[in-house]
Amino acid sequence: MERALSLPLISVKGPFVPSEKLTWENNMAFLSPGGASVNAGKVGHELGALLSEMVATVVQSYQGDVDYLKSLSKGEGLAPENFSPGLMAAPHSAGFADLLRAAPRLLQVSYLDIFWTSQNINFDLIIRDGYLAAGKVKGMSQSWLAILLGLSRTNSNITYTNSGPIPLLLHYGLSRLNQTLVDSVSQASLEVKPHQVNSHLEHELKGCRNASEYLAFKINGLGPSAGGQGQRKASSEGLLFLLKKIHQLFLALSLFEWIIILKKNLQKNLRKALFRSGTEGVKGNAWMMMKKEAYASLVVFMLYGMAGWWTMLTNYRKFNSADIYGLMTLAQRRAKVLLESKNSSNIESASSKIESSHPILCGSWGYLNSYIIRLILRTDFNSARPSWESSMKAWNNDLNPAHISRLVTDVHLEIRTPGISMMPAGGAAPPVTLGSKGLGKTMDNLIKMLNETLNPGEIQKEEEEEDMLE
């Protein structure tokens, strides 16, 4: 299987406009290693220029979903500041990554999905050619690998799959996710404010107790003492990994605007153009790599939402411009399916049978996907003049560890009620079997803590009723 054959070109079903397919094929050949794109030096041949129209289609699909965007208020039970000590300590345990595996939609495509269906995707080719390619690690297309990572489960096994490099990449992704949760709990604990002492009570004793509880809460959130038994090893890729991905996404959007302006003004002297020469502090190969990673982060989000960032296109040495472009063709097709479904007269009957593949309505990352999409819409990217000044103010205010850490509560919601993920053939994957009684008991305790955090009154009532029955 040749690398130039991107998965979108051979597995997405039509109908296609012939000129559209020809454009895809020409661009894939142009962008593939050894193609004419190396040092082409033209604005129209910049990867961002080839992506910008497709990106605009995805942003258009986001604009119709404003009413679905979620936000996490401080009053909600599963906000991190309301966690119990046990819930805050859980991500530090050595086996927590296995508990994350029990919620496969954190990394996988959800089932059902309005785009990932046999009407749109040729699953037979994914199984035949994709998994054949997975066995050939050397020179494997990273766009193929991204698709296989999102559709990697074929049974109830906790390891998901043994195919090629996929198990190791899933392991790395779960490690990043686990560390992000550890970092987020720590960050959230630092944001908690002390309770105000009631002056009518025995304020001296009450104040001292409040101070002790306040400090203990923060210390517990920051993690157990080093060297404790049963702790996981810390990873360098956690909350900052996630923040970097988000910033890369917005860098890509800003580069698209640069390219549009240059093409519109037909500037002849492009040597000093930002998209070629870089910024004041980042030049040459470092700038080329930064752009490449930015485009990759944007494209993966637009196809998979948060679920894709943990495992897909994470090693800049292995993916290329053709991989990015190939996945973006899928993201554009997905956006068109969404837009067509919204405009359909049968949308109500259709929505009762199948979930939208919009990341807000389908999948496990409702809060974080909402947060990022809201910021994308705030740039007003599809307008004639996006407001970059107001966007920078929003990024400065909102893209910080304190805000992002609260939204990783998406993980706890998915662990509490795991959704169904999709198999490579397009069907529903069976629930994950944890594999040991000890792990199952740990999961039961975690879910109990989550339920107590969400509905403490209801849990207490259920326990009282059970005691009466006994």
- How far is residue 361's CA from residue 464's CA, in Å, rounded to a whole number? 36
Model confidence over 111-162: pLDDT tens digits?
A: 988 889 888 898 988 887 666 655 555 567 888 889 999 999 999 999 999 8
Q: What is the pLDDT of residue 78?
A: 67
Q: How confident is the model at residue 46 (pLDDT cuts 50, 70, 90)?
A: confident
Among 205-209, 380-384, 428-432, 442-446, name the one with the lowest average pLDDT. Answer: 205-209
Model confidence over 170-189: pLDDT tens digits?
A: 999 999 999 999 998 888 77
- How far is residue 257's CA from residue 431's CA, in Å, rounded to a whole number? 44
Q: How confident is the model at residue 41 (pLDDT cuts 50, 70, 90)?
A: very low
pLDDT exceeds cutoff 70 at 446 = yes
Q: What is the pLDDT of residue 432?
A: 96
Q: What is the pLDDT of residue 431?
A: 96
pTM of the model: 0.84
